Copies of this chain bind each other. A is one copy, B any other.
Amino acid sequence: MYDGKIIFIVLDGLGDRITPQLGNKTPLQSAKTPNLDKMASIGITGIVDVISPGIAPGSDSAHLSLFGYDPFEEYPGRGVFEASGFGLDLDDDEIAFRTNFGTVEEDGNTLILKDRRAGRISGPEAKGLIDSIKEIVIDGIKFKTLHTLEHRGILIMKGDGLSAEISDIDPHATNVPVLKSMPLEKATDFKAAKRTAELLNKYVLAVYRKLKDHPINKKRVKEGKLPGNIILPRGASKKFTLESFKHRWGFNPACVAVGPLYKGVARILGFKLYDPPGGTGLPNTNIKSKFETGLKALEAHDFVFIHLKGTDTASHKKEPITKRDFIERFDREFTIILDAIEKGATVLVTGDHSTPAVLGRHSGDPVPVVIAGPNIRPDKVNKFDEISCASGGLHRIRGKDLMPILLSYTDRNLEYGLHPTNKSQRYIPHTWKGLRIE
């Protein structure tokens, strides 16, 4: 029934480190996961360097890698994926950034960043703040800011002669100064990059002046909360065209995700987006609904990507027990995925990166992977965790190797060299034509 079809499940930030609170096990190791362990026992396991060994992947480049794109060659920057997640396609004269609301304090004439998420400011408050800075024009360049979820947003700069080759305002750390954007040393158009960076710096200061005494912030301070008094742009990127997933791998893909970034990556690659009812992008999400939405999508599609964010969110909050509990809840719902394997589906479960809960941010530790399906040569591993999978039959592979491996497991690959357009071993393109008798 599901022959040749693939379910590709990513538990965001799944990989972890040994955790004293959990008896020196990782959250995944300490979780009771009879269903994932069953999948390991019938499948093949391994560990994955999603980008390359030791590299801590960003969520966007991680997913590109997992989908078989080269993160060193085909990564345009984060802004474009965030925008895509909200259905925005960039114009040629636009630069997109991911933004956070942050909290700064003045120290002389420096702005010290106290919190990168403005105390996880609520959506309605963030939206209220954005109303006052929605459209700002500086030296003829338009700055348009959009709210997405909670403290997150998108900034679009629009105007002639802009460059995305500039550094971030967001220092990605706290108790350090907010950074001045600079042209990248190796910018192809250094002058344009210098001008763009200067304009962005002006914009950030203008925003700070507008927000610092904003009534919403005054109210938050009165309530003992951190004000959202700055915008922290990062990941400048221009319009960028990536080969579609269908063209590259021959699948007709669907995406079941809630987070805008994941939807954004999938949308740019041509996945059809499905919204799972009850999905929150948090540990309280409706996991069953995600699986059911995915299985429904598998009727019309032959590749379904299901994304779960709860593992990562718990890790960023440094809550290993919340992470473990989320994994156990995932495992309980996983029976319907095991059923799909019985019905012929090839299923992969992995993470997009490690987010050790003891650390609270992404690390370069590899992530475990398990693949099960009708054509798998099983290994001797029968437990799904970081340590067990390190002895698996897949050994240590790269994120971008997964798609060729899945093509082989679903018998869709051509022999290398069989067709000159097909040196990199793809499916038979549906654009090929039959020879006609004239």
Contacts and interface: CB of A to CB of B under 8 A. Distances in A.
A90 interface: no
A75 interface: yes
Interface of A: 17-18, 26, 47, 51-58, 60-62, 71-72, 75, 77-78, 106, 109-111, 164-169, 171-173, 176-182, 184-185, 201, 204-205, 208, 234-236, 356, 359, 361-365, 375, 377-380, 386-387, 390-391, 393-398, 401-409, 411, 413-421, 423-425, 428, 432-438
A56 B415 contact: yes
Given A71-B416, A415-B58, A419-B168, A111 B408 contact: no
Contacts of A398: 53
A365 B377 contact: yes
30 contacts: A47-B393, A53-B397, A54-B404, A55-B424, A56-B408, A56-B413, A60-B417, A72-B423, A75-B417, A75-B423, A77-B420, A111-B434, A167-B432, A172-B414, A173-B428, A177-B435, A179-B435, A180-B433, A184-B420, A205-B437, A205-B438, A236-B420, A359-B411, A363-B413, A364-B408, A377-B386, A379-B387, A380-B391, A390-B395, A395-B396
A424 B434 CA distance: 45
A177 B365 CA distance: 48
Contacts of A180: 432-436
Contact of A421 (B57, B106, B184, B403): B184
B395 A393 contact: no
A189 to B, nearest CB: 14
Given A404-B52, A421-B184, A437 B364 contact: no
Contact of A178 (B184, B390, B435): B435
Contact of A404 (B17, B106, B364): B364
A168 B414 CA distance: 13
Contacts of A420: 77, 164-168, 184, 235-236
- Listed from nearest, the 10 A-B pairs whose CB atoms lie closest are A177-B434, A364-B408, A54-B404, A54-B405, A395-B396, A53-B401, A58-B417, A180-B435, A58-B415, A61-B417
